[in-house]
Every structure is written in C-alpha cells, then in structure tokens.
Structure 1
C-alpha cells in the first residue's frame, strides 16, 4: 500500500463513499453532466459498455453522443454489494435505466434495460473511484408507444445546469 492509499476510513465509510461514486455517475449521466460522470472514474479508468470499450475520456465522448439521441434517461439503482480489500474493492450494483425520446414509437429511443455495474474501485488520490467498469446489460424491454404526457403543469426535468436540482444546490450549498 502506498502512503496515498493509507487512509483512516472504516469499512462502513468506505462502502458509503463507494456507493456515492455510483450515484454521482448516475446523476451525471441523467443530467448530461459529463464532469460529474468523469469524477466517478480515476483519470486512467477503463469502461466496458454495450457498444463501447476504452478509456474514460473516450467513453465520455462516446456516451455524450449516445445520450443526446434521447430526450431523457433515468437510472435507478437497487441491490449493491461492496467487497473491500484494503484500498481496492469490487462493487456490484443492480439497476434499471429508462430511456425516452422521439419518435415515441421508436423502440431504439424508448426502452428500459436491466443492468449490473461490476466495478473495480480503488482508493487513490484521496478518493474512491472506478478503475475499471463492466456495464453488463442483462435485458432490454421496448417502451415504444407507452409513454404518456404529464397530467398537468409542474417541474420539468432538464439535462443541463438549468435543471431545478442545480438551482436548489446553488441556493442551499453555495
């Protein structure tokens, strides 16, 4: 272990921090906040996705284009098992990702997929982050023609820094 890897965290705090990495990644993807997605990885991180295999910087370029074909996405995470080994960890996260876009009857623009993130995480540079990720697609279901309009006026999600989340964060967190 290097001096950088010697930290005073408990297994519980390490698990919490690792879980936060996954949640930041999901928020970043859904809000198209690529800096937030980048923050989930170490600079030399590797990603393996359906249709992509490469470095984190190449992944960001690829996923940015892939996500812009949708009007929105929503990643929901569920079961998560984190196994620690000093400054290294294996994190398996189950989830579902909903995708929607135009035309509404296009199954390639409107689907839900079940996935698992299998992450090799490491603590380096004072933080836990993804060293290598395997985004395992378990299943995909077409949602074409199933989305309906909102039932009334109200907050509308956005995929930029004008989303209400960012306004609330600026007001509360500074």
Structure 2
C-alpha cells in the first residue's frame, strides 16, 4: 500500500510540474520556468531550442517578445514511474497571438522525462511533438468585443491580474 500511495503522490507532483510549466510559459515568467528544469536538462522545442533547457529559458524573453497572448491547455497526461525517474506523454493545445503573424494554434504533445532529486520532481528532458498547426492571418482575436467588456484581461508578466489576485501562488515558484 505504501508504494501505491507514494506513486500517487509522485504523479500528483509531476502533474503540478506540468501545469506550472504551462502557467510560467503563458505569463512569460522565466524565473519560474527556470525552477522547473534540472540544471542539466534538455529542451527540444522546434526552432527555438534543441539542447540545454537553461539556454532555452535564457532565450525566452526574445522568443516570447512578439507573443501578445500565450495559452497552453494541458489535456491528457500519461505517466509512468520507476523510482526517482518518470516519463510522460502530455497532450497540449497552445494558442499564440503573435504581433505581425496572427493567431497560431498548435495541437501536440510533450514527450517528457522527469527526475526526482533532493525530493523534488523536475524536467530532465522535454521534447515538443507538433501533431497539427492552424494559423489565422491577420489575427482575429478581439479583446475589445462587448462580450469581454469589464472582464480582467490577461497579459504577459507580472501585470497579469493573477499576480495581484492570488496570495498563495508566488512568482518564481511552482
């Protein structure tokens, strides 16, 4: 029974890691993103990264600069554990509103390897698989539409309404 409970706890921590990645990416929070990878981790992110995850995180301000809106929606999460290592196939739908390039919707998967070191699960290797891509040029996103009048509007970085709203979620943490 203890093994099953530990496996359940580990899987919960890994799911939280996966969700923290989506949130950090969407908020352009490089400090938080860096904390999700082991120092020796690898990230394969198409044209943006094919090596060191830390180098990928260092490049994120440049990569994300034209991205007015990012939304990563995590759907199916398949995990397999073996002690202090795990693998995951994580399905994602990611919307990108990019200045000058329109709206891009990517359907894909992350092929992940995780390692638990010093009691903490982090990414050891993350590879993006693009299963489909849909683009609309120019953008059709309309945040001025009456349907969203008066709603909080999301934005990259610490100006996002979530940073002022929450007291339990902290910048730079999972």
Unmatched runs of 5 consecutive residues or more in structure 1: 1-6
- Which residue is 2:136 aligned to? 143
- Which residue is 2:161 aligned to? 164
Are positions 1:48 and 2:28 aligned together? no
TM-score (norm 2): 0.86
Q: Distance between the aligned counterparts of 1:67 and 1:102, measured in 2?
A: 10
Q: CA deviation at 1:67?
A: 1.2
TM-score (norm 1): 0.86
- Which residue is 1:94 aligned to? 91
Q: Deviations over 1:104-141 (max 9, x none)?
A: xx3xx421001101110011022000011111111110
The farther-off stretch of 57-66 and 143-152 is 143-152
Q: Deviations over 1:24-74 (max 9, x none)?
A: 111001001111111211111110111121112210122321111111110
- Which residue is 2:125 aligned to? 132
Q: Distance between the aligned counterparts of 2:154 and 2:15, measured in 1?
A: 24
Structure 1 segment 19-168 matched on structure 2, within 5 A: 19-51=15-47, 52-103=49-100, 106=101, 109-145=102-138, 146-148=140-142, 149-151=144-146, 152-168=149-165
Moved over 3 A (4+): none
Q: CA deviation at 1:83?
A: 0.2
CA distance 1:64–1:115, shift in 2 (3 Å): farther
Q: Distance between the aligned counterparts of 2:37 and 2:50, measured in 1?
A: 15
Q: Distance between the aligned counterparts of 2:39 and 2:4, measured in 1?
A: 23
Q: CA deviation at 1:153?
A: 2.6
Give the number of equivalent residue pairs: 163
